Amino acid sequence: MERIYLDYAATTPLDERVLAAMMPYLTSEFGNPSSLHRFGQTARAAVQTARRQVATVLNVDAKDIVFTGGGTEADNLAVLGYLRASCPSGGHIVTTAVEHAAVLQTFKALAEKGYDLTILPVGADGRVAPDSVRQALRDDTVLISVMAANNETGMIQPIEEIGTIAHEAGIVFHVDAVQGFGWFPLHPLARHIDLLSVAAHKIYGPKGCGAIYIRRGLELQPDMYGGPQERHLRAGTENVAALVGFGKACELLVAEGEKRVRHAYALKALFYKELIADSNAYCLNGTLENSVPHIINFSIAHKDRAVVLIAADRKGLALSAGSACESGAAQPSHVLTAMGLSGEELYGSVRLSLGKDTTEADIRKAVEIIRTIAGEEPNHG
């Protein structure tokens, strides 16, 4: 059976060119970057090259990039590291109801430790209003965290406006950019972003590898101690091969990013036109405007998402219920709940996400399979 993978928001396959760049550091170039001999210095140079490659995508200085073990660690280290360094005794923190669990659960844990937490609502389109951020601020507000793009719906948040509000108030602004990375410009200096988190496996790099941009002059404290690696923020010998892969994935993103965006937008428009636009059987969750090109979330009338996903998989189509981290959970999506969905729309929601290797034939086949699962007659027109 030919299988169609349409879950690129969960993870992307490792690009063959990325693997080729990694291979020497999995074999002959095995040195420890902290060693002074040639083996170590070769590894160290590779890590520094990767740092520059990540920084290039973000249009920042390589010295402001700290590598982590993935997006979740990047979010945690950014948020907790800043608060440990600057506001250890508490304060007011602000985030939104649609954040990834890596941020939302971290903020809820902070609330249990004495921080005063405000979780901002979103509109029916899944976006937070900048004015609601402004109105939530207090004299003791110490941190705002808003994601760049939602991993379930693909909706882009107004981070530039929020960054301006935070900057004017002198409040540190963190952006979880894991899902938005590579799909639209994320330049922290231009958007008044102080801390920004990204991950390699969303852009055809290896899993278990991420990074934080840290604004110059901002202090963070680590949550584990050891060697001086990564500005004393992440002790331990670096995963050189993974970092090289991350850097190569960023290099390819710079070269091919615009093409990938155009490709995904065209396929997303095709899917919407062929399945959702003129049918009462499907409901778009979110909007086509203000959304990343590779994600579309929709509900199927009278169908439970678990049934849809299992049936699709049996027919060779890989879809998702939303966040891959929570796809096995019985509870409804907190993102769609925050957007006001209920009943069939909530429990029948499905996420389809596109990649650089997705074809028009994949989309047309996916439409056919989904129609069959929904109980529609196959369209042979």
Active site residues: 325
Q: Would the CA dihedral through 255, 261, 263, 264 be positive or negative? A: positive
Q: Would the CA dihedral through 350, 353, 358, 364 be positive or negative? A: positive
CB 218 within 8 A of CB 172: yes
CB 287 within 8 A of CB 297: no
How many Å apart are CA 122 and CA 134, to the nearest integer?
A: 14
Label residues 48-74 b or e (16+ Cβ within 10 Å = b): eebbebbbebbebeeebbbbbbbbbbb
Question: What percent of the chain is helix, strand and coil (3-state, nearest 5)?
Answer: 45, 15, 40
CB 162 within 8 A of CB 130: yes
Neighbours of 204 (CB within 10 A): 27
Question: For residue 272, what are the CA distances in angstroms to 151, 225, 297?
Answer: 18, 50, 10
Q: Which amino acid is residue 293, in one-letter code?
A: P
Supply the Cα-derived Rg of the chain in whole angstroms.
21
Using alpha carbons, select from 252, 213, 211, 238 the residue that is nearest to residue 61: 213
CB 171 within 8 A of CB 107: no
